[in-house]
């Protein structure tokens, strides 16, 4: 959306002369280390990435396929048929929704109109749950009362429904769009999940795969672009497929992947020029992973500049986090926090050299982003950007003080600070100013007056992080996590504490679902999607442990399949069209 603007700087990292460390050898030996493994993605390897799907070669066949799919969408637009809604669901899951936003919006409006007039969706559980989920995903409120006809006299779902596997899968997916206080949706989730687990052994293989995938991680919690790669492969194994749709999905994925590869190569040149790997040997260097997570947050081609900015931001977040958590002395951390609070690159002489380099990188990057926004929106947002970085550093400093003093906070005290130290506010505030470009200057404080938009995705990241990293952090002796705080406070086992934290994640998702509905009329849909995607990305990052600290397991596979390896397509068939 915006070009990255290279602005003249008063001071650069190259101008900083690195002198011998100010701390004594004794103090230097006291610095902690997390023993992070070296970065596995070599700069030369990243620069060598090539794709035959880059450029304009496949634009014409893709446009033809899009025209064919658009005709399928609007052919029965007078009323939203189940076949049309199935197509919309496939478009979403195949990563194609952004091409057909207008047509999908019209179909959702038509479906909502039917419900407003009749008060019901359909008389079978699959259709009802399916429509309920689609509407809520798009920001429409639908009452849970549409499921009343499936309840028995005891207020529970009818046991006869349990033989409808497709209906149970739809009900399970719909239940994760619940809002706070919707007890019927809680019952729907418990009933459908138990039923699906009981029936899974006797299902059709394709349906069994879909059920296993949904039970592992709810579809509403999955990263949309990551899911597209999986679903394209799954869709191809269906008994009855739409070949036009499949061909478009594969080509689209490969072409978007080629765009992402070009952006990754560009951002890796920035990383190398800054020399972060050499200057911060104690820290995690996760450039490729940060770019992958930026793709998960916003994958659409038109948001390339935002992806690159988010990648830079996340790399600095990780670096600063390692300075506060691992490397910096308490006195140095206080100095760095004060420097960020003052935000003056001319008054950092008192900082140790590694902190000078970090501060200047942060200062330059913020200046660059602010200049880009200023060029295209004619407004200065530096005050807002500086505030989120200052709040982040102050929150990290408090955690460092807790660690150094041996203080154990209560769970609520921990969370009151941890949602800020999670860094989600930094990502969302930057994203907001990129995508909410039509908001007037007097509305730039919108997020400050609606902090729930920042709070709940922050809570999800923090709690998922704690679930994935608490064991390693306890071993290193880091500051307490939510799990440890709850174990001490409630005097329960680690297993019980983990269950409590998982329940808090579910509650946070309900609040996010509510935000998407309540703010859908006055916020850009892409911003609400970005908010959800941040939570989804970090569900994925910490699903199998510490996906930031460890590169060579699931995270490595995600990089390979999403950034490096294209899908197989029949090029001869495409060229013949």
DSSP 203: S
- Residue 541: pLDDT over 50: yes
Position 269 confidence tier, pLDDT thresholds 50, 70, 90: very high
Q: Which residues contact 442 (CB under 8 A, 6 or more apart)?
A: none
Of the pLDDT bands very low, low, confident and very high (cuts 50, 70, 90), residue 521 is confident
CB 247 within 8 A of CB 271: no
Closest C-alpha among 229, 240, 289 to residue 96 = 229
pLDDT: is 121 or 530 the higher one? 530
pLDDT at 48 over 70: yes
454 is written with which tokens?
A: 């920042």
- 380-413 pLDDT, tens digit per residue, is 889 999 999 999 999 999 999 999 898 989 999 9
Residue found by looking up tokens 């669901």 in the block: 89
Least confident piece of the model among 254-258, 268-272, 538-542: 538-542
* pLDDT computed for residue 211 by the predictor: 94
Q: Domains of the chain: which residue ranges? A: 75-241, 408-546
Mean pLDDT score of the chain, rounded to an integer? 87
Q: What's the pLDDT at 203?
A: 84
Model confidence at 187: pLDDT above 60: yes
pLDDT band at residue 135, thresholds of 50, 70 and 90?
A: very high
The tens digit of pLDDT for each residue in 60-87 reads 999 999 999 999 888 755 555 788 899 9
pLDDT value, residue 13: 35
Confidence class of residue 517 from pLDDT cuts 50, 70 and 90? Answer: very high
Q: What is the pLDDT of residue 83?
A: 85
pLDDT at 17: 34
* pLDDT of res. 39: 78
**pLDDT higher than 60, residue 14:** no
Residue 296, pLDDT score: 97
pLDDT tops 60 at residue 23: no
Model pTM? 0.90
User: Residue 12 has what pLDDT?
Assistant: 35
pLDDT of residue 204: 85
Give residue 445's pLDDT band: very low, low, confident or very high (50, 70, 90): low
Express each pLDDT in 558-575 by its tens digit: 999 999 999 998 766 665
Considering only the top CATH level, what class is 75-241? Answer: mainly alpha
- Residue in 256, 108, 166, 29 with CA at minimum distance from that of residue 174: 166
Higher pLDDT, 125 or 33: 125
Least confident of 116-125, 157-166, 560-569: 116-125
The torsion region of residue 103 among left (phi > 0), alpha (psi -120 to 50) and beta comes to alpha
Sorting pLDDT into bands at 50, 70 and 90, what band is 24?
very low
What is the rounded average pLDDT of the residues 95-122?
85
Residue 273 makes CB contacts below 8 A (sequence gap 6+) with: none
Res. 500: pLDDT tops 70: yes
From CA 307, how far away is CA 299, in angstroms rounded?
8
pLDDT value at position 139?
93
Domain 408-546: CATH superfamily is Farnesyl Diphosphate Synthase (1.10.600.10)
Average pLDDT over residues 184-189: 97
Residue 26 has a pLDDT of 39
Instruction: Give residue 148's pLDDT.
Output: 92
In this model, does residue 97 exceed pLDDT 80? yes
Q: Give the pLDDT confidence of 302-313 residue by residue, as tens digits.
A: 999 999 999 999
- pLDDT > 70? residue 155: yes
Q: Is the pLDDT higher at 442 or at 445? A: 445
pLDDT exceeds cutoff 60 at 577: no
Six-digit token pair at 511?
A: 């609040």
Give the CA count within 13 Å in the CB-facing half-sphere of 353: 12
Q: DSSP letter at 519?
A: T
What distance in Å separates the CA atoms of residue 173 and residue 132, rounded to the nearest whole number? 10
pLDDT of residue 529: 95
95-118 mean pLDDT: 88
Q: Which of 271-280, 429-438, 527-536, 546-555 has the lowest mean pLDDT?
A: 546-555
Question: How much of the chain, in percent, has pLDDT values that exceed 70?
Answer: 86
- pLDDT of 423 reads 96
> Residue 250: in which H helix or E strand, if any?
helix 243-274
| Residues 455-490 pLDDT 10s | 999 999 999 999 988 666 555 555 679 999 999 999
Contacts of 367 (CB under 8 A, 6+ apart): 7, 9, 382
pLDDT band at 58 (very low <50, low <70, confident <90, very high): very high
pLDDT > 60? residue 576 = no
Predicted confidence band of residue 4 (pLDDT cuts 50, 70, 90):
very low
Per-residue confidence band for 21, with pLDDT thresholds at 50, 70 and 90: very low
Average pLDDT over residues 275-294: 90
- 275 versus 444: the higher-pLDDT residue is 275
Which pLDDT belongs to residue 550? 62
DSSP string, 274-300: HTHHHH-TTS---HHHHHHHHHHH--S
Rounded distance, CA 519 to CA 524, Å?
9
């Amino acid at each position: 959306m915006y070009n990255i603007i290279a602005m003249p700087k008063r001071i650069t990292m190259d101008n900083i002369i690195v002198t011998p460390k100010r701390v004594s050898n004794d103090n230097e030996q006291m610095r902690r280390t997390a023993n992070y493994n070296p970065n596995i993605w070599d700069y030369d390897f990243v620069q060598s990435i090539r794709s035959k799907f880059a450029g304009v070669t496949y634009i014409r066949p893709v446009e033809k396929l899009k025209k064919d799919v658009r005709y399928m969408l609007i052919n029965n637009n007078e009323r939203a048929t189940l076949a049309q809604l199935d197509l919309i669901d496939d478009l979403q899951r195949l990563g194609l929704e952004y091409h057909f936003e207008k047509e999908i919006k019209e179909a959702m409006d038509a479906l909502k109109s039917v419900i407003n007039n009749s008060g019901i969706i359909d008389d079978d559980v699959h259709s009802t749950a399916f429509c309920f989920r689609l509407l809520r995903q798009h920001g429409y409120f639908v009452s849970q009362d549409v499921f009343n006809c499936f309840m028995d006299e005891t207020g529970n779902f009818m046991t006869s429904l349990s033989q409808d596997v497709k209906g149970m899968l739809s009900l399970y997916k719909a239940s994760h769009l619940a809002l706070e206080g919707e007890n019927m949706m809680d019952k729907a989730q418990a009933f459908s999940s138990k039923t699906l687990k009981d029936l899974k052994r006797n299902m059709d293989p394709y349906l069994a795969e879909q059920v296993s995938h949904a039970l592992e991680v709810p579809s509403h919690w999955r990263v949309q672009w990551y899911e597209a790669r999986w679903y394209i492969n799954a869709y191809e194994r269906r008994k009855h497929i739409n070949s036009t749709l499949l061909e478009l999905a594969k080509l689209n994925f490969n072409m978007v992947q080629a765009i992402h590869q070009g952006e990754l190569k560009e951002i890796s040149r920035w990383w190398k020029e800054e020399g972060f790997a050499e200057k911060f040997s104690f820290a995690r260097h996760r450039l490729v992973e940060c770019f992958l997570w930026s793709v998960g947050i916003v994958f659409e081609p038109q948001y390339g500049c935002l992806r690159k900015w988010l990648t830079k931001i996340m790399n600095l977040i990780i670096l600063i986090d390692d300075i506060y958590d691992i490397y910096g002395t308490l006195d140095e951390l206080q100095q760095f926090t004060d420097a960020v609070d003052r935000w003056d690159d001319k008054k950092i002489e008192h900082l140790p050299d590694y902190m000078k380099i970090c501060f200047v990188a942060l200062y330059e990057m913020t200046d660059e982003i602010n200049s880009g926004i200023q060029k295209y929106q004619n407004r200065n947002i530096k005050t807002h950007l500086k505030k989120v970085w200052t709040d982040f550093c102050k929150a990290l400093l408090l955690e460092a003080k807790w660690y150094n003093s041996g203080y154990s906070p209560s769970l609520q005290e921990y969370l009151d600070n941890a949602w800020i130290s999670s860094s989600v506010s930094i990502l969302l505030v930057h994203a907001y100013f990129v995508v909410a470009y039509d908001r007037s200057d007097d509305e730039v404080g919108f997020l400050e007056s609606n902090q729930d938009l920042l709070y709940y995705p922050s809570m999800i990241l923090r709690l998922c992080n704690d679930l994935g990293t608490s064991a390693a952090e306890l071993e290193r002796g880091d500051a307490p996590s939510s799990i440890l705080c709850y174990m001490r406070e409630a005097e329960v086992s680690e297993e019980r504490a983990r269950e409590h934290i998982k329940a808090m994640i579910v509650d946070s998702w309900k609040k996010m679902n509510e935000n998407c509905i309540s703010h859908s009329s006055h916020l850009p849909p892409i911003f609400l999607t970005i908010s959800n995607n941040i939570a989804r990305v970090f569900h994925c990052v910490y699903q199998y442990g510490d996906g930031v600290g460890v590169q060579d397991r699931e995270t490595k596979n995600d990089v390979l399949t999403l950034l490096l390896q294209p899908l197989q397509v029949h090029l001869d068939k495409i060229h013949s069209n």
